[in-house]
Amino acid sequence: MLFFSERYQFALIEVESTIEVKPPHDGSRPQYNEKVSILARDKNLSSTLRGGTIKWDEQGFFLFVKCKFCPYGLGGPVINHAGELVAMSCVYNEDLPIISITTIRACITMWTKSGCIARPMLGMAFGTVKLLDIVRQDILGYKYKIYDGFIVDEVAYKCNAEKLGIRQGNVIRFSDVDPCYLPEIEVNDLVGKAKRTIILPLEITCGSEC
């Protein structure tokens, strides 16, 4: 084993082989309500496929798949209808937690280049607008013209986000910019009915896990 990330729950393992092994074709990312197939193990530890649907639910960087319970195995590939690898599954009890292949790919790239995984410390906890009930989504869309983004649930004391005026209840959206630059954030204050754009300085933690 080359590396294990306790936070992201995946490991890099080096395997010697005398035959050529082609890597799977990566997809983009898993989508809510998407039908997927999960490689699992039966009671004889033979490979088997379980079908499931990605739920409208998330915890941190994990999504969840509703599928038939399989108590064997310690995770495996999650494949979409096009045969693309979109995620990896983890150990589960009822609903299967999965982590997006885009997150895994970014972690592998960082570890390969620097021997560690750098993690930005935003100082905030979020909920996703698209996971709100339909009534709250309609209110945000009708009153504020907000259809996506993240609702700020918590802001850490004296973090950069708090110093820049981001507060609980704000709705924020990250702009798609060059990853070499600091993130540009659109902040929507629903109470004050104001919208502004800020540049958020990032605090980075980097520790090698093994």
Number of domains in the chain: 2
Q: What is the CATH number of the domain that holds 72?
A: 2.40.10.10
State the pLDDT at residue 167: 94
Does the pLDDT at position 24 exceed 70?
Answer: yes
State the pLDDT at residue 76: 82
**Do 65 and 104 fall into the same domain?**
yes
**Do 89 and 122 fall into the same domain?**
no
Q: What is the pTM of this model?
A: 0.65
Does the pLDDT at position 111 exceed 90?
Answer: no
Domain end marker among 113, 134, 158: 113
**Do 108 and 140 fall into the same domain?**
no
Residue-number span of the structural domain to which 132 is assigned: 117-207
| pLDDT: which is higher, 168 or 119 | 168
Domain end marker among 113, 133, 158: 113
Confidence band for 210, pLDDT divided at 50, 70 and 90:
very low
**Do 45 and 106 fall into the same domain?**
yes
**Do 66 and 151 fall into the same domain?**
no
**Do 21 and 94 fall into the same domain?**
yes
**Do 52 and 105 fall into the same domain?**
yes
**Do 9 and 108 fall into the same domain?**
yes
**Do 160 and 188 fall into the same domain?**
yes
pLDDT one-digit tens code per residue, 55-106: 877 776 788 888 876 666 667 889 998 889 999 888 655 678 888 888 888 8
**Do 46 and 81 fall into the same domain?**
yes
Q: What is the CATH number of the domain that holds 138?
A: 2.30.42.10
Domain end marker among 87, 113, 139: 113
Inter-CA distances, 91 with 10, 40, 45, 75, 95, Å? 11, 10, 15, 6, 10
Per DSSP bridges, beta strands 184-189 and 194-199 are antiparallel
| pLDDT: which is higher, 152 or 111 | 152
**Do 64 and 78 fall into the same domain?**
yes
